[in-house]
């Protein structure tokens, strides 16, 4: 605030005295820990061909048992400790987070911290029923994944014959419950749903939601990723611009995943998440917690660190805190910057397990 400002002075926040293990952390590349993505289940009611292909995640697939999942109390405790290390944003994800029973209860517990940026990513299939409860529980923001408005294409991509209309109803229910702006994530895969790009842009532009295009990534080890399947964001910018002119915007904050563009007619914005063609490792401040309490420091990781054993073995807050510090301070990941056809073949952890 400038000296002559007439705005009332905010009381200064008391300086937080942190124990040595309770401090803001920096990894080996100077990146702070700011975001934590929490997977609350490894199960999903969709079988998106690029994420949980049926041939792998079929009837015989061994999902986690209930007792293996972190309880809401355990998640709450971890969030409290992660906050002490600088985490400001929590994204609840999965699998499909809305298939976890009584998820609203967890939201309510986390919404207690009103300075926490709390958000959730869903496939939208259960949103029509749950949007109001999530909002009432204190959820502030929501992202819905949707890959096409073309019903046969969408049904084929989710591979459980789920209709587009029900996801759109879910998005409407979320808007009616007071979420906004709603973000919609579309994974674009060459030869599969490119033709849906402009119709999706037009549809969500008219409704004031922010559509973000995600480059198809080589996450996990089961989606048969090839570079030829990736539609680079710069190509999408051109495709959209030809019909709906757009121009670049400044990022909201350092490390923002999506590059922001706005429609020149002033009707809103779109985003591009270019993990493949324009890696953003340099600014990556995210950690991911699997549903059973393994902590990963990269979406493309092959190994995590077990927190559940420590929690259930009677570990103190200080011990948990020290493990967070140890893991983050040793972090050197920058997978997307060094990706090659060879690294893409590594047995990376699945996105449905680690959380999207």
Interface ranges with ligand SAM (CB under 6 A): 44, 50-51, 93-94, 96, 121-123, 145, 185, 187, 214, 216-217, 219, 223, 351-352, 356
With contact defined as beta carbons under 8 Å apart, do 185 and 48 qualify?
Answer: no
- Shorter beta-carbon distance to ligand SAM: residue 233 or 321: 233
Q: What does the buried/exposed string (b/e) look like for 112-123 if buried means 16 or more CB atoms within 10 Å of the residue's CB?
A: ebeebebbbbbb
Nearer to ligand SAM, 216 or 328 (CB): 216
Q: Which two tokens stand for residue 80?
A: 């409290």
In angstroms, the CA 96 to CA 171 distance is: 16
CB 104 to ligand SAM: min, Å: 17
Q: Do residues 124 and 146 make contact, with C-beta atoms less than 8 angstroms apart?
A: yes
Q: Closest separation between CB of residue 40 and ligand SAM, Å? A: 10
CB-nearer residue toward ligand SAM: 230 or 311? 230
SS3 186: strand
Q: Quick one: DSSP state of residue 242?
A: H
Kindly tell me the sign of the dihedral angle through the C-alpha atoms of 24, 142, 198, 350: positive
Residue 350 C-beta: closest distance to ligand SAM, Å: 9
27/96 with CB nearer ligand SAM: 96
Question: C-beta of 248: minimal distance to ligand SAM in Å?
Answer: 22
Shorter beta-carbon distance to ligand SAM: residue 96 or 104: 96
Least Cβ distance, residue 268 to ligand SAM (angstroms)? 20
Q: Kind and range of the H or E element at 243? A: helix 233-243
In angstroms, the CA 342 to CA 307 distance is 31
Q: Is 201 exposed, middle or buried (0-12, 13-18, 19+ CB in 10 A)?
A: buried
Residue 99 or 310: the one with the smaller Cβ distance to ligand SAM is 99
Tell me how far CA of residue 308 lies from CA of 42, 89, 299, 316, in angstroms: 16, 21, 20, 12
Instruction: Return the number of the residue (72 or 225) whose C-beta is nearest ligand SAM.
Output: 225
The single residue listed with the structure tokens 């005295």 is: 17
Q: Whole-number minimum distance, CB 312 to ligand SAM, in Å?
A: 25
Residue 238 host element (H or E): helix 233-243
CB 207 within 8 A of CB 179: no
User: In terms of CB distance, is 118 or 214 closer to ligand SAM?
Assistant: 214
- The rounded distance, in Å, linking the Cα atoms of 223 and 217 is 9
Question: What's the rounded Cα separation, in Å, for the pair 31 and 282?
Answer: 8
Nearest distance, CB of residue 219 and ligand SAM, angstroms: 5
CB-nearer residue toward ligand SAM: 34 or 189: 189
In the complex, least distance from residue 299 CB atom to ligand SAM, rounded to whole angstroms:
9
State the minimum distance, in angstroms, from the CB of residue 120 to ligand SAM.
9
Please identify the residue of the shown chain whose CB is closest to the bound ligand SAM. Answer: 356
d(CA 355, CA 43): 11
What are the phi and psi torsion angles at 211 (to 5°)? -85, 135
């Amino acid at each position: 605030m400038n000296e002559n400002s007439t705005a009332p002075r905010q009381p200064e926040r008391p300086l937080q005295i942190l124990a040595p293990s309770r401090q803001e952390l920096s990894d080996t590349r100077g990146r702070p820990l700011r975001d934590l993505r929490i997977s609350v289940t490894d199960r999903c009611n969709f079988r998106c061909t690029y994420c949980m292909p049926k041939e792998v995640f079929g009837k015989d697939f061994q999902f986690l048992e209930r007792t293996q999942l972190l309880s809401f109390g355990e998640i709450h405790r971890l969030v409290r400790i992660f906050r002490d290390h600088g985490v400001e944003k929590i994204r609840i994800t999965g699998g499909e987070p809305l298939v976890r029973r009584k998820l609203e209860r967890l939201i309510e517990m986390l919404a207690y911290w009103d300075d926490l940026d709390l958000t959730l990513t869903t496939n939208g299939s259960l949103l029509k029923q749950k949007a109001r409860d999530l909002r009432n529980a204190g959820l502030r923001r929501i992202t819905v994944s949707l890959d096409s408005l073309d019903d046969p294409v969408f049904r084929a991509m989710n591979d459980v014959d789920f209709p587009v209309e029900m996801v759109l109803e879910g998005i409407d229910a979320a808007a009616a419950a007071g979420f906004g702006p709603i973000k919609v994530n579309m994974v674009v895969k060459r030869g599969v749903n490119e033709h849906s790009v402009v119709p999706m842009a037009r549809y969500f532009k008219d409704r004031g939601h922010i559509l973000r295009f995600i480059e198809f990534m080589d996450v996990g080890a089961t989606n048969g990723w090839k570079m030829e399947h990736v539609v680079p964001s710069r190509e999408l910018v051109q495709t959209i611009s030809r019909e709906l002119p757009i121009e670049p915007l400044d990022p909201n904050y350092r490390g923002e995943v999506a590059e922001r563009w706005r429609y020149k007619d002033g009707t809103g914005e779109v985003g591009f998440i270019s993990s493949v063609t324009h890696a953003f490792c340099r600014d990556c401040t995210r950690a991911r917690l699997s549903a059973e309490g393994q902590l990963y420091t990269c979406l493309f990781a092959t190994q995590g660190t077990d927190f559940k054993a420590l929690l259930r073995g009677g570990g103190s807050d200080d011990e948990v805190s020290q493990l967070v510090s140890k893991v983050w301070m040793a972090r050197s990941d920058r997978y997307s910057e060094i990706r090659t056809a060879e690294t893409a073949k590594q047995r990376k952890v699945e996105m449905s397990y680690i959380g999207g």
